Amino acid sequence: MSTVLYEVKGNIAILTISREKALNALNSEVLNDLDAALDAVDVNAVRALIITGAGKKSFVAGADIGEMSTLTPEEGEAFGKKGNDVFRKIETFPIPVIAAVNGFALGGGNEICMSCDIRICSDNAIFGQPEAGLGITPGFGGTQRLARIIAPGLAKEIIYSTKNIDAAKAKEVGLVNEVYTQDELLPAAEKLANKIAKNAPIAVRACKKAINEGLDLPMDEAIVLEEKLFGSCFKTHDQIEGMDAFLTKRKEKNFIN
Ligand code: CO8
């Protein structure tokens, strides 16, 4: 049975990492299942994806420490690559991905949520990178993404000292956009996903590409990227439909992928 559950609700979908006895820790099986689940998402029908963890205690409590404990340097590098490949797939996924962080997001848990476009969390969420206390560095992108998302000095403090931060602090520093009660979290994630899904899929995908790829470019090249993506929207069904709806004062819009 897969350790990742997949549910489609209209034109949004939810991936739930489900290894609750180990607080949804990421072993090779979970990473393989996650990879396969992402491949199975029909991005022509689904317009926004939510990733969450099973239960109310933990989103993902990190990579599986038992599995990692006996790795050789070569195996460690290969395990890091396995996680990085899956997380990069999430980051570059054609449609927006929302992390609904329902508890511990430690190590690989914080790293997977940082690969998502948008992070929201429950009020019991705890974020951190405990790796230095285990004798390793973060290995699924933590040293790179945390210092890009929050202030580099704070990222360094969290990584070097292994101090965790709570939901309120995560919101204060911009690691998450909003904090909800545990019961409100998933409905809020679905509401946000549905709001995204109502907009033109072609435009939303182009916005994701423009923001993500543009962040890695000098501004002169980044705005050229935007010009190209902006231009590519014209004469699409969605552009014609969206502008016609405005000009004819029509509320309902029939966007397609
Ligand atoms: N790996 C394996 N098992 C875990 C993990 C984990 N990361 N986290 C929790 N579990 C298991 C526990 O062993 C326990 O199992 P059992 O019931 O069989 O003893 C079960 O989940 C419940 O956990 P606890 O009893 O510890 O629950 P508590 O509520 O007391 O504590 C904590 C919850 C604070 C989350 C605690 O479990 C904890 O500290 N977990 C480890 C957190 C951690 O250090 N995560 C980072 C791991 S390193 C990492 O993610 C590196 C990523 C990059 C890897 C690159 C590889 C090259």
Token duo for residue 52: 């969450």
Residue 96 near residue 204, CB atoms below 8 Å: yes
Count of Cβ atoms closer than 10 Å to residue 52 Cβ:
25
Is there a contact between 123 and 179 (Cβ–Cβ < 8 Å)?
yes
pLDDT of 257 > 70? The answer is no
Closest atom of ligand 1 to 66 CA is 2
For the CA of 77, the nearest atom of ligand 1:
57
CA 60 / ligand 1 centre spacing (Å): 9
Structure tokens at 115: 């690969």
Q: How far does the chain reach from its first CA to its final CA, in angstroms? A: 32
The pLDDT assigned to 48 comes to 98
For the chain, give the mean pLDDT: 97
Interhelix angle 219-233/201-215, nearest 10 degrees? 170
Mean pLDDT of 58-78: 96
The DSSP output letter for 222 is H
State mean pLDDT over 28-48: 96
Do residues 128 and 175 make contact, with C-beta atoms less than 8 angstroms apart?
Answer: no
The answer to whether residue 252 scores a pLDDT higher than 70 is yes
Regarding the beta carbon of 59 and ligand 1, being less than 6 Å apart is answered no
User: What is the phi/psi pair of residue 255, to 5°?
Assistant: -80, 145
Which residues, including other chains, have CB under 8 Å from residue 12's CB and lie 6 or more apart?
46, 47, 48, 49, 50, 190, 193, 194, 197
Assess whether pLDDT exceeds 90 at residue 1. no
Q: What is the pLDDT of residues 165-174, one digit of tens each?
A: 999 999 999 9
133 pocket-lining for ligand 1 (C-beta < 6 Å):
no
Residue 23 CA to residue 31 CA, distance in Å, equals 15
Q: How far apart are CA 15 and CA 65, in angstroms?
A: 23
Q: Is the pTM of this model over 0.90?
A: yes
| Residues 190 and 12: beta-carbon distance below 8 Å | yes
**Beta strands at 178-180 and 126-128: parallel, antiparallel or unpaired:** unpaired
Residue 182 corresponds to which amino acid?
Q
- pLDDT of res. 221: 98
Instruction: With beta carbons less than 8 A apart as the criterion, state whether 201 and 256 touch.
Output: yes
Is the CB–ligand 1 distance for residue 86 below 6 Å?
A: no
Nearest protein CA to atom 20 of ligand 1, as residue? 22
Instruction: Say if residue 127's pLDDT is above 80.
Output: yes
From the CA of 106, give the closest atom in ligand 1.
45
Mean pLDDT of 38-56: 97
186 lines ligand 1 (CB under 6 A): no
| 146 pLDDT tier (thresholds 50, 70, 90) | very high
Residue type, 19: R
Counting ligand 1 atoms within 8 A of each CB, the residue from 3, 20, 23 with the most, and so the one to mutate, is 23
Average pLDDT of the residues in 19-23? 98
What average pLDDT does the segment 90-103 reach?
A: 98
CA of 22 to the centre of ligand 1 (A): 7
pLDDT digits (tens, 9 = 90+) for 3-15: 999 999 999 999 9
- Helices and strands per DSSP (H, E), number in the chain: 11, 10
- Is the ipTM value over 0.85, yes or no? yes
Q: Is the minimum distance from the CB of 68 to ligand 1 under 6 angstroms?
A: yes
Task: Using pLDDT thresholds of 50, 70 and 90, give the confidence band for residue 175.
Answer: very high
Pair 83, 77: CB distance under 8 Å: no
d(CA 95, CA 205): 6
User: Given a cut of 90, is residue 204 above it in pLDDT?
Assistant: yes
Looking at the predicted structure, is the pLDDT value of residue 94 above 70?
A: yes
Catalytic residues: 111, 131
Amino acid at 100: A
For residue 67, report the distance from its CA to the centre of ligand 1, in Å: 11
**Above pLDDT 90, what percent of the chain?**
99
Tell whether ligand 1 has an atom less than 6 A from the beta carbon of residue 53.
no
| Residue 23 CA to ligand 1 centre (angstroms) | 7
